[in-house]
Structure 1
Amino acid sequence: MKESENLIRVLEESIIAFKNKDSIKLKKLSNETVHTSSLNQDPNNILVAVIVYSLGKILERENYLNLPGWKNFESLTTSALKISVKDLKQKKEEKFTQDLVQVRKAIGKISGKLKKYVEEVFRRSEITKASRIYEHGISLGRTSKLLGITIYDLANYSGQTGISEVSLNQTISEKGRIKMLEDIFR
């Protein structure tokens, strides 16, 4: 697996942020991972980005923390993340992938409204992160395949956000270029 040191760091920081209920830190870590995953197209990087982002979104909704099943979800998730870090440090890549799947399965062990809410957050997070990977230049087809979502969902979301219309080239006027050169040689 590529970038295992970075994934270890991201997961360790994510565990701390999740315990501290720091949704902003989780989203920041997810965005870092999206950039890496778009470069090497590693499914595990992408899965980590989705999980970390989802946890951040879940923590934003403070009412979830009071629903029945929250404590169980929190302990199962934290435990699965810790085990995934341990397996990654021991270079057990296959086991690491299974650990990430266990985080998703933790949802199945909660019940009631919380389960429905968390499932929806994960689904939307997959689409959101897929659109960010697409924004980094990976094709719609490849992105949808990496995340296991439909091209239709991804294209629909990308069309709503305007990602598909982002101009990659920004032209600087002649005056702007001259000013930059003058600033360099001062």
Structure 2
Amino acid sequence: MNQIIKEDIKSIIRKAVLLVKGSNPSGLGSLSDRSIHNASIFQDMDSVGIAVVIYALSKLMGRGISRADIDGLHSLLRRGLELLSSDKDAAYRATIRALLKRIALLDERLGQYIIEVVRQAEIKKGSKIYDHGISIAQTADILGISQWELMSYIGKTSITDRELRPGMIDIAERMRNARAIFRTKEHGV
């Protein structure tokens, strides 16, 4: 596993261990957003796997599960962190699979959670592509998502409100340039 990804996942699991132990579903929801964002950046199975786990845990704990179930999930998370910290990547992945199986036993909606995490990661990735100047229509088409989903997400971010990056010309200056070009062509110059 890539070292940067590994460190990021370890950081997420450390926080998740504390949030699960403290029965904090809203904190897990925030952590879920971060893990989904990272899955959209790294696009590897380990990042997606932990994003699904954190998202599912936030949903499960938000609905209320027994203390025994919380303790079991907490134990598996701690075990995953220990294995990842010891560079036992294959054993870590097996622990994540066991965690997902346990979640599936507690909540039959795990499949929906997986789809939702992948969908959110695609939309976040789309917003980054749009941020680099590709149109919403092209971005949505590239990723196979709807323009409405992408526009809805972009509307919640500050992408459209950002200050100009170095080298970018503001809209008023671009309009003056365009008018000058067309005015010149109209007069035959």
Q: 1:38 Cα deviation (Å)?
A: 2.5
1:71 pairs with 2:67: yes
The residue aligned with 2:41 is: 39
Matched residue type, 1:174: A
What CA RMSD, in Å, does the superposition of the two structures yield over aligned residues? 3.4
* Aligned position for 1:54: 56
* Equivalence for 2:87: 91
Instruction: State whether structure 2 residue 122 is matched by structure 1 residue 116.
Output: no
Q: Please, which runs of 5 or more residues in structure 1 have no aligned partner?
A: 138-153, 176-186
CA contact (8 A) 2:9 2:47 kept: yes
Distance in 2 between residues matched to 1:13 and 1:124, nearest whole Å? 22
- Seen in structure 2, the aligned counterparts of structure 1 residues 40 and 125 have a Cα distance that, compared at 3 Å, is closer
Residue identity (%): 17
Partner of 2:49, secondary structure, is helix
Structure-2 separation of matches of 1:107 and 1:173: 50
Return the offset for 1:71: 3.4
Query: What code does the residue aligned with 1:39 have?
Result: I
Question: Counterparts of 1:1-186 in structure 2 under 5 Å?
Answer: 1-2=1-2, 3=4, 4-61=6-63, 64-65=64-65, 70-110=66-106, 115-116=107-108, 120-121=112-113, 124-137=116-129, 158=146, 161-163=149-151, 166=154, 172-174=170-172
Conserved 8 A contact 2:25-2:59: yes
Corresponding letter in the other structure for 2:51: A
Specify whether residues 127 and 58 from structure 1 end up closer, same or farther in structure 2 by C-alpha distance, changes over 3 A only.
Answer: farther
Q: TM-score, normalised by structure 2?
A: 0.61
In the alignment, the residues of structure 2 paired with residue 35 and residue 128 of structure 1 have an alpha-carbon distance, to the nearest angstrom, of 8
Output the CA distance in 2 between the equivalents of 1:23 and 1:101. Answer: 21
Deviations 1:26-80 (A, max 9, x none): 222222223333332221011111211221122223xx33xxxx33432221111
Aligned length: 149
Q: Supply the distance in 2 between the matched residues of 1:12 and 1:165 (Cα, whole angstroms).
A: 28
The separation in 2 between residues aligned to 1:107 and 1:76, in whole angstroms, is 10
TM-score under structure 1 length normalisation: 0.62
CA–CA distance in 1 between the matches of 2:128 and 2:69? 32
